[in-house]
Amino acid sequence: MFRSVRSVAVQVAKRSQVKAFTRALATAAARPSITRVSFAAPLARAPAQRIPIALTQIKPEIERRNMSTAKDENELPPRDVMEYDVVIVGAGPAGLSAAIRLKKEAAKHGLDLSVCIVEKGAEVGAHILSGNVFQPTYLDELIPDWREKGAPLDTPVRDDKFMLFTSKYAIPLPTPPSMHNEGNYIISLGQLCRWLAGEAEALGVEIYPGFAAAEVIYEKAADGTEYVAGIATGDVGIGKDGKPTENFARGMELRAKTTLFAEGARGSCSEEVMAKYGLRKTPQTYGIGLKEVWEVQPEKHKEGTVIHTIGWPAQIDNYQGSFIYHMKGNLVHIGVVIGLDYANPNINPYMELQKFKTHPTIASLLEGGRCIEYGARVVNEGGYQAIPDLTFPGGALLGCSAGFLNVPKVKGSHNAMKSGMCAADAIIDQILREGLRKENEELQAKGLPTVSEPSAPAEHVEHALAGKKLHYYYANLMSSPVIRELYEVRNVRPAFKFGFLPFLMHSAFVEYLSRGRESYTLAFDHKRDCDATVPIAEAKPIEYPKPDGKLTFPLLENLSRSGVNHEENQPSHLKIKPEKKHVPLQVSWPVYGGPESRFCPAGVYEYLDDPSQPGGKRLQINAQNCIHCKTCSIKTPDEFIKWTVPQGGGGPNYTGM
């Protein structure tokens, strides 16, 4: 193994070797000894994750290249390059569905497309957090025999409840039509993704967990337009001081004729590409979802029950709701989702989840049980209005990277899958149509009769895809139910700006009467969620109950249940934007009371006393605690944080989210 790690990680000449390398890393990362961090000790002293450790074995090769003395990019050797037809960033439902569909459709047309997925989690599913009540419509279409193949969908929904919570009571309300879940399943989306990854690999897709896309590669076409030509993984073995350590190794370039970004909500490369090509026409708005998985006492468990709640503990002016899903194995998935356009900077989303559990209904359900997992992740809430342009020269945006979450249904995995499938179909369409056009041009030039199908589609892949937009992707989505579904509920979420009661009445009107036929389309009032925060001097203080250690937990204790782990000796992947360096101490702390110290669900941001600083504070960023929810890139005042990918496969290590 040592030889293959060394030769693959550094020389990276053959795909099969890389595969061996990444498999070794994934296996190592999955070992129980490294998936859990004890928070009895400070997180900063957590053991280094397996990936950087494995990379220490390539030291002789590094010495050969004399990397440890390199000072800047110009002194570094070029990155090794691997070429694919399609590179997909992110092994979530969108990316995996795209890959599976591509391979299946390509095979039908005699095409052997090379498809690769990079995934920043140490293994597939490690960074996936979802509810999840899963609508299997598109899984049926993608893998019709998923039941026979043993897909992990084993808790059919049997009961749907919708409730209004007050601090003491749970008042049943009629379940809105969009929240009916007949035919759906309560699942762990991470586990489904692991299963899908197996299906994809069986079809020949190469999947590299533990490799994050850190950089988008752009090239210039003959006409001067810049197109996306693939991605690069980050260099590893760079110390906190920004200098290469003895474990340094350069990242790899994965070049592609088409690059699909399927990074989920607020993807770092996706946001860059959207900004570069001006794809966002209307700003996106987000929510933060925080979740715990509990094993409860068997007599309290009602397998297949889905409960959604509104009301307490939410402030009346916050878009907030909760979910309780009873999954097989006495498991209960419980969480809150809070619109990040909240105004009061005193809100602490983590404590909202803890408070929610103290409701008598929830407390009695969880009593005698144990919390086995905790995590958080943002969701898109902008819906139809916020869908960006989906294509750019050289690729497209899939799933929640673009934003296809149906907010009232709290469902996005099915649409993410379908968007991946539509993009895959668009790639095949483009190869066939472009091939046909070219062949017929040649036949006509020779005075020969034209044909209706290209005779050798494989010959046209380069010409049809490289640097091109995926022309048929949006059309495919438009003719699928995805866009229609989002259009029908387009006015539900934005109506919350009129207040809680008008929102409820309007939602009932849309759900039961108009069903999307409204003559109007409501807009969100703010440009960015961070702009909705009011100064702390104008905000009501909020009291949260002290954690009791049984039902409610201190944040750091719970964080150990996310399995979070990062290589310690690396520069922070949470960067203060250079032009916004003044914001933390001159704006965030004095004006808003440092909201990031409350909204971050991992306790990453701390304002510490420091008499040497103007204002007597300094901001400490405990980047190693980050569970990749992306909230800080959205809700810090003036969005002063740029979220970038850390080295290796760092981050949470979810097993059943």
Report which of 630, 582, 579 is spatially closest to residue 602, judged by C-alpha positions.
630
Both tokens of 71, joined, read: 């000072």
Report which of 274, 251, 478, 222 is spatially closest to residue 395, judged by C-alpha positions.
274
Distance of closest approach, residue 307 Cβ to ligand FAD, in angstroms? 12
Let me know: does 654 contact 125? Beta carbons within 8 Å: yes
Distance of closest approach, residue 126 Cβ to ligand FAD, in angstroms? 7
Q: Find the helix or strand (DSSP H, E) in which 293 lies.
A: strand 286-295
Does residue 627 touch ligand SF4 according to CB under 6 A?
A: yes
Place of tokens 């509990």: 294
Quick one: which segment of 13-21, 348-356, 511-519, 622-630 binds ligand SF4 (CB under 6 A)?
622-630
Does residue 630 touch ligand SF4 according to CB under 6 A?
A: yes
For residue 406, give the DSSP letter. Answer: B
Of 151, 405, 470, 632, the one binding ligand FAD (CB under 6 A) is: 405
Does residue 129 touch ligand FAD according to CB under 6 A?
A: yes
Does residue 416 touch ligand FAD according to CB under 6 A?
A: yes
How many residues are recorded in the chain?
Answer: 657
| Per-residue contact string for residues 189-208; x = within reach of ligand FAD by CB under 6 A | x-------------------
Identify what 631 binds: ligand SF4, ligand FAD, none; CB under 5 to 8 Å per kind: ligand SF4
Quick one: which segment of 50-58, 90-98, 609-617, 624-632 binds ligand SF4 (CB under 6 A)?
624-632
Rounded to an integer, what is the distance from CA 311 to the centroid of its chain? 27
CA–CA gap between residue 413 and residue 398 (Å, rounded):
11
Does residue 632 touch ligand SF4 according to CB under 6 A?
A: yes
Distance of closest approach, residue 161 Cβ to ligand SF4, in angstroms? 30
Identify what 604 binds: ligand SF4, ligand FAD, none; CB under 5 to 8 Å per kind: ligand SF4
| Per-residue contact string for residues 546-585; x = within reach of ligand SF4 by CB under 6 A | ----------------------------x-----------
Vertex 591: Cα angle to 590 and 595 (nearest 5): 90
Number of residues that bind ligand SF4 (CB under 6 A): 13
Mapped to the 3 state alphabet, what secondary structure does 334-362 carry? EEEEEECCCCCCCCCHHHHHHHHCCCHHH
Quick one: which segment of 35-43, 395-403, 516-524, 578-586 binds ligand FAD (CB under 6 A)?
395-403
Q: How far is CA 564 from CA 122, 230, 328, 572, in A?
A: 11, 29, 25, 15
Quick one: which segment of 107-115, 155-163, 341-349, 413-421 binds ligand FAD (CB under 6 A)?
413-421
Of 205, 362, 400, 564, the one binding ligand FAD (CB under 6 A) is: 400
Distance of closest approach, residue 20 Cβ to ligand SF4, in angstroms? 32
The dihedral over CA atoms of 250, 252, 253, 258, expressed in degrees to the nearest 10, equals: -150
Let me know: does 22 contact 209? Beta carbons within 8 Å: yes
Fill in the amino acid letter for 95: G
Backbone angles phi, psi at 166, to 5 degrees: -105, 180
Identify what 574 binds: ligand FAD, ligand SF4, none; CB under 5 to 8 Å per kind: ligand SF4
Of 414, 469, 561, 617, the one binding ligand FAD (CB under 6 A) is: 414
**DSSP E strands, 201-268:** 206-209, 213-220, 226-233, 236-238, 244-249, 252-261
Q: How far apart are the first and last CA of the chain?
A: 32
Task: Look at residue 517 and give its three-state secondary structure.
Answer: coil
Give the residue with the Cβ less far from ligand SF4, 400 or 602. Answer: 602
Residues in contact with ligand FAD by the rule CB under 6 A: 89-95, 118-121, 127-134, 189, 212-213, 262-264, 267-269, 289, 291, 335, 337, 377, 379, 399-401, 405, 410-414, 416, 645
Residues in contact with ligand SF4 by the rule CB under 6 A: 574, 600-602, 604, 626-632, 643
